[in-house]
Structures are given as structure tokens and as C-alpha cells.
Amino acid sequence: MLRLLRRSPRGTAHLRLAAALLAFVVSLGVTVPGAGASEPLQDANVKLLSLKVNGKGEALFTYRKSDGALRRVLAWGALNARAPSAEIPQVRFKWDYAGGWGKYRNGRYWKGFRNRCSPYDGPPLAMLVAACKAPNGTYWTVQAWQRRLPLLGFDPWLPQHTNWELHIAHWSGELPKLEVYPNWTYGGRWQGVFGRYSYLGDPIFGFGSNAKGVPKDKYGRNLYIDTLNSAYGPGWKRESGILTHRGTGTFCHSFVPQRPFVGYPSQEMRPSANGERYRVTAGGPGVTPVMQVELAGLNKAELQRDAEFDSVFDQVMAGDRICAGER
């Protein structure tokens, strides 16, 4: 796992990979699709050396790729997020992976980059590895996330499954709001979770997805659900990846037996994987941070609270016809 080493007086963050992560590093940097996530760097499994921000709204990330090559990347041009719109594109960073050559035709631009970022004083964020406060009061943050783990509790079998992505955010003001609640579903037979994802009061959703549930636009967001100490085995296991629903930003999931997807190592039915705890993680809308919520699983004694959970469900999930059967 990436961890913070030290921070200079000007807010430059220096980081390294811990031994546990090094065991999984692949030999080449991998281009990672941004669909369903926030804004990850193009390369995975990197050693982040520094984050700097100048007074022009640019951030400079210096890191070493898994093949040893040093890379300096500029990001600029985006802040926070727009409410979903079928006509106006979501905000996105502009990137220069040549340290200034792409934007200024100056391959030595990074050498004169004046860091003016001060220490981070914003709210806690999950998976945070580097952060600082820009001169204009906005925040730049870097979060490390294993987004591509296989679903249904399978152990990774492809190199990209264990990729650590660095997700970049530039934001100010309120963070996205990820609400997650437990529930008994299908007459109390199974456990589930439901919730709502919103930003500044607007639901977070996209306008289409492919057959695998990957958003076709930059508004759509996948949520990734993990379960702790379940029938899949000890520790955290990835259970599912689902979309927020169009128009409402709501979502639901039941921990029921499921058949593995085509291409998985086995096609045997997977068990119901309700766990001691659940964790839901989602890329922020636009260029806002990755959000994560953790909550306790239910026990049999809490079956008597079903009416209470249903009342919350009715309030949060109003207008969501897709999840009506999981009340």
C-alpha cells in the first residue's frame, strides 16, 4: 500500500510503495480507462515522488513507473463537477505527460515549476496518499485504489486485477455525499445494502452504459461493494460493481448466490456473501475525490428491525423502480 513519507514546508508530498504492494507490481505501466471512476493517472503501480501545485492552477505529479522510468505529468483545467447533463460534457482534466512539452512545447518546463501548495487542512478522505491546498484555497488530492479487483470474491488471476491506480482530484467546498444503508431483502431471506449518491443536492448518474455496466459517458459512476469475513473467506473481498440509477442516483444490492460471469475461472454457483462489515467505494463525479462508506452487517436478531429499514428505504429510494423488489 502507498504511504506518506514526509511533507516539505511548501506541501510537497513524498511517497513510496510498501513491500506488500511491490509483490504485485507488474512490469509495465497500464493505461486505465476512466469510465466509472474519477480521474486516474494513465499509469498504474507507480511510485509517487511528489505533488506540486503552482499559482496558475496547474498540478505537477512526479512518479516512477514500474519499469523504472521517471515521469512528470501536468494536470489542469478542471474543478469539482457538473450536475448530470445530456448536452454539456462533465468537467475533465487536461493532461501533459511530457512535463510541459505538450502544453508549452517546453520539455524543461517542470524545472521552473514553482510549488505554492500548503499543507492539506481538508476533511479526511479514504485511501489518501498525497494532498495539499492551492493558493486559491482549492484542494488537490491523490488516492490509491485497487478498483479492478475481480467480483464475487474471486482471487485475482490477471495482472491488471491487482493494479493500484492513483486517482487525482481538484475540489473545493462540499464533498459528494455517499449514503449507504443495510437492509433485509426478499422477505428477510437475504441481506442487502441500498443508498444514494449525490453532489450538492443533485443525484449522480449517467445516461447510458454498455452490456458490462460500464458507463458510456463521464457522468456515470460505478460503485464497488466489498464484504468482510464472508463465505468467500477471511478479509475483504470484492462482491460487486454496480451503476447508480439514472435520474435518482440510487442503487441497491442483495448478497444472494450468483453464477460467475463468462470468462471467470469457475462457473460454479457462488454463495451468499453477507459479511461482518460492508464497504462501498465510488469515484467522485467530475474531478472530485473517491468516496467510501463502511458499515456493519446485520445479524439475525436485527430481523425485527425490518420495518425500520423499510421506512428508510422508502425515503431514500423514492422514484427508483429498479430496486422496488428489494425493499
Q: Where are the domains of the chain?
A: 2-171, 177-326
Nearest to 170 by CA among 29, 88, 48, 56: 56
Nearest to 164 by CA among 63, 69, 68, 25: 25
Taking every pair of C-alpha atoms in the chain, what is the biggest distance, in angstroms? 67
Say yes or no to pLDDT of 200 above 60.
Answer: yes
Say yes or no to pLDDT of 4 above 90.
Answer: no
Report the percentage of the chain scoring pLDDT > 90.
86
What's the pLDDT at 6? 35
Q: Which pTM does this prediction carry?
A: 0.88
Q: CA angle, 30 as apex, 60 and 167 as ends, to 5°? A: 45
What average pLDDT does range 278-307 have in this prediction?
Answer: 96
Q: How many CB atoms lie within 10 A of CB 327?
A: 17
What's the pLDDT at 133? 98
Q: What does pLDDT average to over the chain?
A: 90
Pairing of strands 277-282, 222-230: antiparallel
Say yes or no to pLDDT of 180 above 70.
Answer: yes
What's the pLDDT at 43? 96
pLDDT tier, 305 (very low <50, low <70, confident <90, very high otherwise) = very high
Please write the tens of the pLDDT for every residue from 95-153.
999 999 999 999 999 999 999 999 999 999 999 999 999 999 999 999 999 999 999 99
Say yes or no to pLDDT of 14 above 50.
Answer: no
What's the pLDDT at 19? 30
- Indicate the CATH number for domain 177-326: 2.60.40
What's the pLDDT at 36? 56
What's the pLDDT at 37? 65
Helix (H) or strand (E) holding 21: helix 19-22
Q: Which amino acid, 162? A: T
What average pLDDT does range 235-256 have in this prediction?
Answer: 98
What's the pLDDT at 39? 87
Radius of gyration of the chain (CA): 21
What average pLDDT does range 251-257 have in this prediction?
Answer: 98
Please write the tens of the pLDDT for every residue from 58-82.
999 999 999 999 999 999 999 999 9
Helix (H) or strand (E) holding 311: helix 306-316
